Amino acid sequence: MNERQPTTDSLRALLAPLAALVAWGVGTALLSRRFGAPNLPADEPIAAFVLLQVAGGVIWLWALVVLRRRSDTRLLWLVLGVGLVLRLALFFSTPILENDYQRYLWDGAVTAHGLDPYAHAPADLLTHAASAGPAWAPLVVEGRAVLEHVNHPHLATIYPPVAQGAFAIAHRLAPWKPVGLRVVWLGLDLAACLLLILGIGRTADRAWRLGIYWLNPLLLKEVYNSLHMEMVLLVFATAALVWATRRRIVLACGALGLAIGAKLWPVIWLPLLLRGRGLRRRHVVLGCVTAGVLATFLVWPLLRAALGPTGDASGLGAYARAWEMNDSAFVVLQALMRFVLPAQAPIAARAAVGLLLLVLLAWQMRRPVADGHDFAQRALVMVAALFLLSPTQFPWYFLWCLPALALRPSVPLLLLTVTLPLYYLRFRFVEWGRADWFDYGVVWLQFVPTWVLLAREYWQVPRLRTVEAR
């Protein structure tokens, strides 16, 4: 009887937040029908949507608090079941305020037909398909409905080959349809979940830690509703983290090479991965070669297009030079640069961010990485800094932090799941002609709470160490 009582009490305590999360998922799916065609943009309930997403983040934190207070490992199955229900609830929802998936559908078709996705910008194909070659014209005709809705059509794709491979698989499963992407995302998501369970281990709090990732409403909305491709990155980043915790450095480096082939930023983790205490030199060399060869081979087609004669139409080049959206710290840094280099402030601010990240990386590497958990902590510091200093702080970019957060939770960063949905209010401000009100005012509501809590943690840690020393 005593054995069963903890489970019964835990189930009762969790019933309300988990039921509320399911209601959030169903509510988001139902509300999504009021977005997109044939609805007019002015009639889309953006405020109601944002309020629902913020409420979902609060409910998720409530569920995590309840899970944190329960040490019953059998709750893991409950977390897994509810997370799966939430994914299914959003599986056939209408994408809300996002259309990046149209680019994935087009890229997937191009790659699946053996063509080069970096060769032509969508706008060029719509106007001069015949000049692209005989293989392109039929594809343009077949996929015109998708091609006409690709955003930034004057730019070639920015997504590296690993992402292109995922898009191609989705196209083979369901040509030109979002359901193909969702099937691929779900498969990658399940793999990432299993990897996290392996990385967390048989600890008493594993249901809580897994809930950080598996029940996260921001991940659910951005992946299963908006269809953002972050799952392609997350599964390999998670594999790198988990294999690092098990001291399987060569495997971790291989996974990291694949993650770089999905998005470029995981390269910042490689020096930390090779800085492990007690690593044999041959493992370091083999790991470095594995990650380096994989990353170079996978990233080269994208870099070649960016550096070639059509580089002006490269999505990567445009992103590196000028992309800026929903940023916080970068706005301040760029304003400071205007006093020093008025004409070059955007580039100078980007260079300053790069320098700050290099300094932080050097600081993180001042001591050897003690173990896999230490690596997860330092990896979280680097990816969180990258996100918080970036000129583009889209809500789906925060998902990069989730695998490391599940292994090394941080309350200030967890809070971003609640505040980041405020980004979608910008669509209404743009409609009113007041985008600057959002960009220089409302945007701070997303990030100030996290910055304040991070500063508080930074100042408290030395004090706690001083007290412990006494």
pLDDT the model gives residue 74: 76
Task: Quote the CA–CA distance of 119 and 169 in Å, as a whole number.
Answer: 20
- Window from 81-90, 280-289, 305-314, 369-378 with minimum mean pLDDT: 305-314
Residue 179's pLDDT band (cuts 50, 70, 90): very high
Helices (H), 144-177: 144-147, 161-173
Tokens 């997860």 correspond to 376
CB 350 within 8 A of CB 391: yes
User: Contact 57/217 with Cβ under 8 angstroms?
Assistant: yes
- Rounded Cα–Cα distance for residues 449 and 127 (Å): 48
Tell me what pLDDT residue 371 has.
Answer: 84
pLDDT, one tens digit per residue, over 376-410 is 999 999 999 999 999 999 999 999 999 999 999 99
List the chain domain ranges: 5-119+156-469
Q: What is the arithmetic mean of pLDDT over 439-456?
A: 94
pLDDT for 465 beyond 50: no
Give per-residue pLDDT as tens, 288-347: 898 899 999 998 988 887 776 665 566 677 777 778 899 999 999 999 998 888 888 889
54-72 residue pLDDT tens: 999 999 999 999 998 776 6
Q: Mean pLDDT of all residues in the chain?
A: 90
What residue type is 240 in one-letter code? A
Q: What span, in angstroms and rounded, lies between the C-alpha atoms of 201 and 390?
A: 33
Residues in Cβ contact with 79 at an 8 Å cutoff, skipping those fewer than 6 apart = 67, 207, 210, 211, 214, 215
Contact 258, 270 (CB under 8 A): no
Query: What's the CA gap between 51 and 73, in Å, rounded?
Result: 33
If you count DSSP H runs as helices and E runs as strands, how many of each does the chain have, helices first? 25, 0
Predicted confidence (pLDDT) at residue 353 exceeds the cutoff of 90: yes
pLDDT above 60: residue 175: yes
Which of 30-34, 36-40, 93-97 is the least confident region? 36-40
Neighbours of 209 (CB within 10 A): 25
- Asked if 322 contacts 350 with a C-beta cutoff of 8 angstroms, the reply is no
Is the model's pLDDT at 5 over the cut of 70? no
Distance (Å, rounded) from C-alpha 457 to C-alpha 53? 27
Choose between 467 and 365: higher pLDDT: 365
| pLDDT at residue 310 in the model | 60
- How many of the other CB atoms lie within 10 Å of CB of 154? 12
Per-residue pLDDT at 215: 97
Q: Give the span between the Cα atoms of 417 and 413, in whole angstroms.
A: 8
Res 303: pLDDT: 85
State the average pLDDT over residues 337-363: 91
User: Hey, what are 12's tokens?
Assistant: 């009762």
Confidence of residue 2 (pLDDT cuts 50, 70, 90): very low
Task: Name the more confident of 40 and 379.
Answer: 379
The pTM score is: 0.93
Judge whether residue 16 has pLDDT over 60.
yes
End-to-end CA distance of the chain: 45
